[in-house]
Chains A and B, each alone.
Chain A
Amino acid sequence: MESIKDKVAIIGMGCTKFGERWSSGLDDLAIEAAYEAYEDAGIAPKDIQACWFGTVTAPATGIGGTHACNSLKLRIPMTRVENWCITGHEALRNACFGVASGMYDVVLALGVEKLKDTGFPGLGTGRGMGPVLEARRTSPGSFSLIATRYFYTYNLSPEEGKKTIGKIAVKNHNNGSMHPKAHFRNKITLEQVMNAPIIAWPLGLFDCCGNSDGAAAAILVPASQAKKFRSDPVYIKGLGQSFDPLLPHARPNFDWVNWDALQNSSRQAYEQAGIKNPREELDIAEVHDCFTITELAIYENFGFSAKGKAKEDIDAGFFELTGGLPVNADGGLKCFGHPVGASGLRMTYEVYKQIQGKAQLPERQLKDVRLGLSHTFGGPPQVSAVAILGRELDKSKDKYR
């Protein structure tokens, strides 16, 4: 099995403003993201040879690649992908394979989601779930199961536990306040988090990500050709993806702390990228903070924090912009919401911009970003996707494991 490392480069990316885009439809969002990516890459639509298009579910989604084709007028091989919350990453991942196989030289990966046409705030109930077994199951209702058990396992009182994850919300809102494309740009205090209405106990309003519209896109080429397009391409270093069988609710002996899908997907990507110590080697991580407790679980399952010790790192500010490993520097899902098909590519957009030193405002630009990670996590049953991006090609001989 070969590694994907240094075979594919990103030469252009686009990302819409995320938010309640009442006057924009799915087509408008696709156009906005794709045309920014074309411009960033310095290419024309006719240069695109294939497209992988990710979207999950919205009233007007239609089926197949119809929406992307109709809106962008591309007359090329086009593949629709859908894989829960990792859909944006799946568009990226499969587009990478299209390039790495040698089949195509210029490929568009596009992720779009129009959530605000559902008439319901929140990711809601009854989407792709068993009619009786999962009736009334919601995303916050499921993810809060993680929080309840985590607090119990590590002996945190509900108040201590809520404060710990509440600090993640405060951090991400602080980061998002500086991002012009974020849906929510308000700074919040821990007191606000603690006093917010409960959505699904123990998770309150600020523990949950928003419900937003958005789209993001990437243009991929073989790594060997990247410099023809621009001086600062960003290289794919690793792609991990893993599923867990069975609803975690039904999984025998599952401890609700160790998530195989998280551990397997990150390990695959680390191995491909040659990362031994992610906490030290990564300069930025954009991870799936659909709920604050999810981000905490990711710290411990990705090797950013030791098991049961995320609280210490959170209290020390390790994941803040000025910390050892900034996580969700753009504000994350907390501030961008989770337009499902777009999120993986939106996170990758942040890593791409930070590596290039082109974060929109100087106050949010991190210093000397060489290696970054983007990640989405969904289901259930759990599915997790990790992409690792780097600034330079590895010149060493043993670059393939």
Chain B
Amino acid sequence: MSGIISYGAYVPIWRLNRDAIGAAWGRASFGGERSVANNDEDTVTMAVEAVLDCLSGIDRNSIDGLYFASTTAPFKEKQCASMVAAASDLRPDIITMDFGNSLRAGTSALRAALDAVNSGSAENVIVVAADCRLAYPRSDYEQHFGDATAALLVSKKGKAIANVKASQTISNEMYDLWRLDKDTFVQSWEDRFIIEHGYTENMSKAITGLMKKQNLTPASIAKAVLYAPNARTQQQLARQLGFDPKTQLQDLLAANLGVCGCAHTLLLLVAALEEAKGGDNLIASSYGDGSDAFLIEVTAEVDKVKEGRRGVKGFLASKLALPTYERYLSYRGILEPQPGEAFRLFPSASVSWRERNWSLRFHGSKCKSCGLVTFPIQRICYQCQSKDDFEEVRLSDKKGKVYTFSLDNLAGRSDDPVIPQMVIESDLEKARIYSIMTDCDPKLIKIGMPVEMTFRRIYEGGGMYNYFWKCRPVR
């Protein structure tokens, strides 16, 4: 029997108060706030964050597979999982797969990972689901949606924090929510139809089917972890299934996060595991073109994983307020930012490929002769001139401190008018790193401030999205 041995999550630091959305359109606010990915984030960068959270304290070389799920992948042709795996500094001889096209993609990836470890084709597979869906400006969904990522590490041999005992899948064909291949924004049919014949009907079928097979009563379930388009619909379903919404229902996180597409079921499961105790039975169920439901039994090991992970709770608590609705539109590319000076040095696929060990894996070089650590990788030591006598060392998981900085207005654009330029002194052998600081209030930056590294999309150029690492204040 396969189990979950670790979890991780990621919520972008920016939150938009829903009152700002309501005020922008002269309509009611649904209250609370939603998360908004920064303009240098996409589902690939957000996936790296959750993977690293999930793998804290775990040997990255033990990972045999990475499954990436998203309905908002930055590429139509090109795998995201391979880039997430590279930035996460995983082994190259692993299974990577992308899952997409459905709100159920996150749990589809989980199911596939469970099957892989059960069949013996891999020992440890990490599943990561990320979404940044765009709703039409002014629509209800614009207020309901949020951006986030969740990751689960599935293993046959490791010490399980939760065992997946059984599952039930329903497949259903209908147009309820969809995007055509050319659509930017989510389309939908009338709410009353899609809730009755889409959501409620399919979720009920999956969950009651699962419970019937396992001879379970609602009373034997500690927490129902139910995806839903909004909190009211979730509570109605819980009641209908016989769960007490007050005590047995995992909060949807609608008020302070939003509903985060195909990542949301896994995200709610992480939130539930953060509060769970050994022996708890959980039902986790996703919705999208049908439903996946899982019966999960929590073990006492869960307490050991709670420390050292930021998870949903940690990342939700760490936040900055997005000042305006317009900034949200700009961050998400709905408003086109005023361009800065054009880049004259074009990205090159072959250069990026040669530089992948420092640009994606964020390795520096450590001189075997004198011990100096330099970033990027140097073939000839800056200090002792020894040639090709170095080992690569990972700097992405090391914290550092600001050595000097500037707040650059000239480099700014309308969507990020101030670019904080940093020199960082890494906690690893005081290696120096040139870095832009993101996710910060520039006014609070000072010399000596602790920072950590974060994988970001730097800019679009040469027909490519170009990724690299930045730093941010420790979250």
Contacts and interface: CB of A to CB of B under 8 A. Distances in A.
B348 A149 contact: no
Contact of B407 (A128, A142, A200, A251): A200
Contacts of A126: 341-345
Contacts of A134: 434
A395 B375 CA distance: 51
B359 A252 contact: no
B396 to A, nearest CB: 14
A198 B334 CA distance: 29
B359 A136 contact: no
A152 B434 contact: no
A253 B371 CA distance: 13
Interface in A237-269: 245-254, 256
B401 to A, nearest CB: 12
B421 A141 contact: yes
Contacts of A124: 341, 410
A148 B405 contact: yes
B403 interface: yes
B347 A131 contact: yes
Interface string B283-321: 000000000000000000000000000000000000000
A140 B433 CA distance: 19
B138 to A, nearest CB: 33
Given A132-B467, A149-B404, 19 more contacts: A126-B342, A127-B344, A131-B345, A132-B347, A138-B410, A141-B411, A142-B406, A145-B423, A146-B404, A148-B404, A200-B421, A201-B406, A201-B407, A246-B382, A249-B433, A249-B434, A250-B434, A252-B373, A253-B430
Contacts of B432: 249-254
Contacts of B419: 136, 141
A332 interface: no
Nearest to B469: A132
Contacts of A152: 404, 447
A85 to B, nearest CB: 17
Interface stretch (B49-57, B80-88, B98-106, B458-466): B458-466
Nearest to A251: B432
A132 B430 CA distance: 22
Contacts of A138: 408, 410-411
B94 interface: no
B436 interface: yes
A271 B377 CA distance: 36
Contacts of A250: 374-376, 432-434
A145 B406 contact: yes
Given A149-B447, A250-B374, A200 B345 contact: no
Interface string A148-170: 11001000000000000000000
A144 interface: yes
B340 interface: yes
Contact of A148 (B352, B447, B458, B467): B447
Nearest to B457: A132
B340 to A, nearest CB: 7
B423 A133 contact: no
18 contacts: A122-B410, A127-B344, A128-B345, A131-B461, A132-B467, A135-B343, A136-B408, A136-B421, A140-B410, A141-B419, A145-B405, A145-B406, A148-B406, A197-B409, A200-B421, A249-B433, A250-B375, A252-B382
Interface string B329-367: 000000000001111111110011000000100000000
Given A128-B345, A253-B430, A133 B359 contact: yes
Given A128-B345, A249-B423, A200 B382 contact: no
A188 interface: no
A133 B376 CA distance: 9
B325 interface: no
Given A251-B382, A252-B383, A253-B430, A133 B411 contact: no
A120 interface: yes
Nearest to B433: A250
Interface in B451-475: 458-459, 461-462, 466-468
B134 to A, nearest CB: 25
